Amino acid sequence: MFKRNQDIREAKENIPIWVIAERLGIHENTLHNWMKKEMCKRRKERVISAIVGIKKELAEELDTAEGNKNKNSGSKSV
């Protein structure tokens, strides 16, 4: 079976297609249709940019959550 847009498939990892589509301001079915044929360079760059932005946000949320966890794990004196 043909795997078009393999670089996008690898970059998205476990990010749901609907999240990427939402970031792009399109319906998820549109993104599914785009994935059926090899995308032009400009469209591909737009999708990759959305994926990078999503990953950056997820990393920031993870850092924030870990920071809050470390603040709450300190010992309390009575």
> Encoding tokens for residue 52?
């990078």
Helices 17-24, 41-72: inter-axial angle, 10-degree rounding = 110
Say if CB 51 and CB 17 are below 8 A apart: no
Q: Is the pLDDT of residue 7 over 80?
A: yes
* Model confidence band, residue 64 (pLDDT cutoffs 50, 70, 90): confident
* Model confidence band, residue 77 (pLDDT cutoffs 50, 70, 90): low
> Encoding tokens for residue 65?
């959550």
